[in-house]
Structure 1
């Protein structure tokens, strides 16, 4: 054993220890006494390390990755896909090729004439849902900007949501481009990891962020937007579609600050002679009493949500809210809400005609 005597430095020469020094000398500090001028530290005699032979590092095969070893594309690494900080051989080669390689790549973006993710340059994230991410994207050939909704296949399969994604697509296809107040589906495609919905880009964000930023909207502004929502709902209902999750977060604003209804993931396509749906979906502050009591929704459920939205635009707060989801639902069933002072009388009359409970408890 070797005994090492560590002398304390004179006060005038001592310096504040760095964090690294404190970490390295923690055992010395804890065993030292403030009253002793010296402290002892017992060190074991170091043992010689055995010699080892190391083989030369393996080189990565320049062969392109197979399907079993393929990596998710770059648009997934920041969100839905798994992260991988190691570049592939193909990506390193692309960097070296420079502009010539970029031109060659652009000629091969579409596979067999079909649209693919390689046809777009993905930008900032615009929004995120439970199983999807919406990103700004530019179509490389035309320069046209879109909002592309990327749905994670793994999540959809894991939580049995494939039917939900299919229903959203079918709903948007039925609505088509027949109304400017509804987000249009331009195309869809898929790859190994994701489904893609190419949608209209609404550059001015969602209504909820505007209400939050301004606190509330004027009566005139609310009238302007409410009329657009009613017009879009009338078209939607004429096509046999119920939105079932109408709320300010799902009201987008286009370049001219006009409404575009989006997010039809919970939308319902009504068949001939069918007026109601039996699935429990929606957001707690906007669900209607018939959903809570009878577990059904209809076109009137969207009108109930419209009444809640008009109230929120003017009052700057939810119509119904409680300390828990259950208490919020109790207030909805009891129509337990009140108007703040100064609420416009005509708007108040409209809200009272929309937020109506016709179920006998």
Structure 2
């Protein structure tokens, strides 16, 4: 017993209490703190005082027949307050109904018949205290395990959330142009394939706008690649701000961008491209000033692949370049 255990002895016979006091003091000394009560009501008061002080009864030994609360009734009430307390019932009568009640409703540890033998009491008390300490340690261990499990669950949940977020970011990076945040070439090829299948299945129009920044090499040569990158980022932002939510935006590479216009025919995509051309030409880019872009447009045909659609838009773009730049050219029939 690492800690001092508290025992409560309850009997209306002071002679019995005195015998218990002498016997427990002789065999246990300072190992036990022994409290005495001459009635069930007094026993309940002592238990309440101990509980208020943060102490718990390890063991209660009570007589069965007492004025007021009988021993079995006392044990039932104590059990409601302190289920872990070990209960021993002393009885000089063969009233098994009370013993059964104490067993069923108060988790009675043992009952001893009067007159009791000192050795029997000592052995029973020692075993009862050991049982209480084991139960208390088990409760503490279970609580520690519960806390550890809760902490582990929190760690696992946090790690899982972290992994989910990292996987999400990896998925985004796998389809995103690192500089501009627009779709990369790989994602654009995949997306165009899907849109062409959808266009044929549902007989809806899909067009693409291909644009290339005019004289971009001069920007890099005159102002440096860092400034050139800022221009690319600025173009991407203008595309986001002035395109429909339904449109998909990507960077094919270098200074070339593409807008996938869902549910847009040639006329609608011409309007959209003209608007983007004007917005870019009117924008002032930090450190550079005005830049322009040339545009080529192509609309999905029945036998198109992503490559053939891009090729027609690219041909239209180069016609725009050859015609003086800063203009929009549709595909040739």
TM-score norm. by structure 1 comes to: 0.21
Higher RCO (CA-CA < 8 Å; seq separation 6+): 2
TM-score norm. by structure 2 comes to: 0.22
- Higher normalized helix content (fraction of residues): 2
